[in-house]
A and B are shown apart, each in its own frame.
Chain A
Amino acid sequence: MDGSAERPWRSPRACDDYWSEFRHCKSLRSHFHHYYTHGTSPSCQQWKEDYKNCREWEKSRSAEAKEALQRSERSRVEEQKKFTPVWELRRDPPKDWHCH
């Protein structure tokens, strides 16, 4: 997290990235693909919120905006972890990857 206080905090993504994700999410194609995959429409509002908070942080260094952004991103990371892997992750790459 904010452990090493050498670098000042920055938003996890550039503010423009949040906006482009929002526009991308709202597009017709994205709706189509989401329906095709999940049977529902995507929810895009969070990207817009994040963009707002990102700009807010840039403008006023508001602690509220920073925390809201962090919460949102952490929950995104959690979403991606919602499964139990069937295999064990390696600690090192396979030994024979490079050799012939």
Chain B
Amino acid sequence: MDQTKQEEDYGYDLFPERTKSKYAKGSIAESLFTFNNKCQVMLHFAMETSPYAKLLLSAMKSSGCQVFKDRHFSCEDCDGTVSGGFDAASSQIVLCQNNIHQQSHMTRVVTHELIHAFDHCRANVDWFNNYRHLACSEIRAANLSGDCTFNNELARFNFGMKQHHQECVRGRALRSILAVRNISRKEAEKIVDDVFDTCFNDHAPFGRIPHTKKDAGFAYRDYQNRDRYYANL
């Protein structure tokens, strides 16, 4: 019973396959009845081609947290409409194979979760007990992963122009927190407000807010060039 309460407290009930898979891994049933293969293929494509993902993978490798696809990613069936999550307890990124059907969506989710993993790697983030830390990572992930581009917001029927990006980041961070923690909306709003300015301005490892693939490409170029950059400052 204690286990269930803990599961609900930390959002694990959204990821039922964290504790028990429906089909054995690598089985034919898994191949036939789930989107596991499609998920694996899209993940591979994202890691190989997206400048967002490549930059984050590079940065994590330099920080001592090299990411291995088989160890640190897990394609699973999830509840509801959640697309993915970062499980700090097992150092794994969960990708919801039943909710991600387009490559662009996969790339965005991979980037979003890699940002959480990156934060986990470089800082002492207390995911389970410190809501400010959780909020900060969610703000950064919504800000830097392309979650809040104009087009993505349009597709969600959220119309807005001037500084809408910031509203979107706030909103998505709030949603993410409320999905995985048992706190009131008001409390969550206050926490997001508290840490918003500082976390919105933390662009590591991009050095800028990458609005487009081209931005991310430039950021990746800067990252690869960082030795020369800092040596000649």
Contact = CB atoms under 8 A, between A and B. Distances in A.
A29 B222 CA distance: 20
B218 A94 contact: no
Interface of A: 1, 7, 9-14, 17, 20-21, 24, 29, 32-33, 35-39, 70, 73-74, 77, 80, 82-90, 92-94, 96-98, 100
A80 B207 contact: yes
B198 A84 contact: yes
A10 B199 contact: no
B133 A87 contact: yes
Interface of B: 63-65, 71, 90-91, 119-126, 132-133, 136, 150, 161-166, 195, 197-199, 201-203, 207, 209, 211-212, 214-215, 218, 221-222, 225, 228-233
A17 B225 CA distance: 11
Contacts of A83: 197-199, 201-202
A90 B71 CA distance: 22
A7 B199 contact: no
A29 B210 CA distance: 12
B162 A85 contact: no
Dominant secondary structure at the A interface: loop
Nearest to B221: A17
Interface centre among B209, B215, B229 (most CB of A within 10 A): B229
A11 to B, nearest CB: 7
A69 to B, nearest CB: 9
Nearest to B229: A12
> Which of A83, A88, A96 has the most C-beta atoms of chain B within 10 angstroms of its own C-beta?
A83
Given A92-B64, A97-B65, 9 more contacts: A24-B215, A36-B164, A37-B165, A37-B211, A85-B123, A87-B125, A88-B123, A88-B124, A96-B91
29 contacts: A1-B233, A7-B231, A9-B232, A10-B228, A10-B232, A11-B232, A17-B221, A35-B162, A36-B161, A36-B162, A37-B166, A38-B163, A80-B207, A85-B198, A85-B202, A86-B132, A86-B136, A86-B199, A87-B125, A87-B133, A89-B124, A90-B124, A92-B64, A93-B63, A94-B120, A94-B121, A96-B91, A97-B64, A100-B71
A10 B227 CA distance: 12
A36 B198 CA distance: 19
Given A36-B150, A89-B122, A92-B64, A29 B212 contact: yes
B133 A86 contact: yes
B92 to A, nearest CB: 10
